[in-house]
């Protein structure tokens, strides 16, 4: 069947519109999903404000959204194991499965990857903030009907954080320090604890997210809005084995390099601006640091879904507001206000 959807479509900086989008016939191997819920991500907000994120530039209208879940309404030919009526968490990544990176198990680095709601490729792959959207069967992970769509949608950011912690290596009994207390920072904190971290410190420049981090179980919170004295003080008392940079700022990376112990590991998760950035790179050598990037996720997506279903991680603790998809433009403004919002989730109605 052909159909049409209403989709939160970005036309340029701060120009997000709900637009009708025709959907053609469903392709073989694909399923059509009715939107259940979608988390607004930091990268969605970057796109919203600047029509770009990092090195990815929006050059034609882009439907945002890559943290989505919903109900299957139609099955394309050749699809097995899924049926209309199934509730699914939708992995936004479409990996080729055959390139060198895929074959070595690093699917997030797939040379032919398509990622929903991303301008990394042209034409852009449209996102999931749409009342109906199509996905491959491989993208869909079935979830129990009792699970809220909002919780299922948050498998995506949880997978990002599971991957970041995996990149850090052994966490058991280690101390971690984390720069940036947004949703990814907070979920990384929970994942680090799940992996056995003995202590996690959280650093930010805003009071509200730090208070939230404390309620979620941060062992130390440090506000560096007035300078980094508190951070220097903490680093003098505590030796941090791993630093996670989640703020996506050169200052955050500089602090991560300064704050981690000699021989420690720094994981860059935050999406820094493209181009050259000033960072104290020599300390990577003199402290013999392992500086690692962490980009999206691979097999962690399925693990994230099972952790949410089993209650191993309560992602709903991060949700500060739910708004209908039709109100996406207003919901983005709310999400951008860090004094009021941690995670804003769009819902079907």
Choose one: 10-18, 93-101, 119-127, 141-149; the region binding Zn ion (CB under 5 A): 93-101
Pick between residue 17 and residue 103 the one whose CB is nearest to Zn ion.
103
Per CB under 5 A, does 96 bind Zn ion? yes
Choose one: 46-54, 88-96, 123-131, 185-193; the region binding Zn ion (CB under 5 A): 88-96
Choose one: 40-48, 50-58, 227-235, 294-302; the region binding Zn ion (CB under 5 A): 40-48
Per CB under 5 A, does 51 bind Zn ion? no
User: Whole-number minimum distance, CB 107 to Zn ion, in Å?
Assistant: 7
Site for Zn ion in 150-179 (CB under 5 A): none
Per CB under 5 A, does 110 bind Zn ion? yes
User: Whole-number minimum distance, CB 59 to Zn ion, in Å?
Assistant: 21
User: Which of 339, 316, 334, 314 is closest to 324 using CA atoms?
Assistant: 334
Distance CA 233, CA 240 (A): 13
Q: What is the DSSP letter of 118?
A: B
Distance CA 288, CA 266 (A): 11
User: Whole-number minimum distance, CB 302 to Zn ion, in Å?
Assistant: 17
Binds Zn ion by CB under 5 A, chosen from 5, 26, 33, 41: 41
Q: What is the dihedral of CA 105, 106, 108, 111, to 10 degrees?
A: -100
Pick between residue 41 and residue 307 the one whose CB is nearest to Zn ion.
41
Per CB under 5 A, does 99 bind Zn ion? yes
Residue with tokens 């207390």: 181
Choose one: 33-41, 54-62, 259-267, 278-286; the region binding Zn ion (CB under 5 A): 33-41
154 close to 343: Cβ distance less than 8 angstroms? yes
**74 Cβ contact list (under 8 Å, min separation 6):** 1, 26, 31, 32, 84
246 close to 179: Cβ distance less than 8 angstroms? yes
Q: What is the dihedral of CA 229, 234, 240, 244, to 10 degrees?
A: -50
Strand partners, 240: 260
Per CB under 5 A, does 279 bind Zn ion? no
Per CB under 5 A, does 254 bind Zn ion? no
Binds Zn ion by CB under 5 A, chosen from 102, 125, 243, 315: 102
Where do contacts with Zn ion occur on this chain (CB under 5 A)?
A: 41, 96, 99, 102, 110
């Amino acid at each position: 069947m052909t159909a049409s959807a209403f989709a939160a479509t970005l036309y340029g900086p701060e120009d997000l519109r709900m637009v009708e989008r025709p959907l053609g016939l469903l392709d073989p191997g694909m399923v059509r999903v009715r939107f259940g819920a979608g988390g607004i991500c930091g990268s969605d907000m970057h796109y919203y404000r600047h029509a770009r994120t990092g090195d990815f530039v929006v050059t034609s209208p882009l439907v945002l959204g890559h943290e989505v879940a919903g109900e299957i309404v139609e099955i394309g030919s050749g699809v097995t194991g899924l049926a209309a009526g199934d509730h699914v968490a939708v992995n936004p990544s479409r990996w080729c499965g055959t390139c060198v990176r895929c074959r070595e198990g690093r699917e997030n680095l797939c040379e032919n990857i398509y990622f929903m709601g991303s301008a990394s490729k042209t034409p852009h792959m449209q996102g999931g903030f749409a009342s109906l959207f199509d996905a491959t069967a491989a993208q869909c992970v079935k979830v129990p009907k009792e699970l809220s769509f909002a919780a299922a949608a948050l498998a995506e950011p949880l997978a990002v954080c599971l991957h970041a912690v995996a990149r850090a290596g052994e966490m058991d009994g280690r101390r971690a320090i984390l720069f940036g207390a947004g949703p990814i920072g907070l979920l990384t904190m929970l994942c680090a604890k799940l992996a056995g971290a003995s202590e996690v410190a959280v650093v930010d420049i805003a009071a509200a997210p730090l208070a939230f981090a404390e309620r979620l179980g941060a062992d130390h919170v440090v506000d560096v809005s007035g300078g980094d004295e508190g951070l220097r003080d903490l680093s003098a008392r505590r030796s941090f084995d791993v630093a996670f940079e989640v703020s996506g700022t050169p200052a955050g990376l500089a602090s991560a390099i300064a704050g981690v112990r000699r021989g420690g590991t720094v994981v860059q998760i935050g999406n820094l601006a493209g181009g050259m950035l000033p960072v104290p790179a020599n300390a990577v050598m003199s402290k013999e640091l392992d500086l690692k990037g962490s980009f999206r996720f691979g097999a962690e997506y399925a693990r994230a879904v099972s952790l949410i279903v089993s209650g191993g991680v309560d992602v709903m603790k991060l949700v500060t507001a739910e708004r209908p998809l039709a109100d996406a433009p207003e919901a983005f403004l709310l999400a951008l206000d860090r004094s009021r919002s941690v995670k804003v989730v769009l819902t079907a109605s």
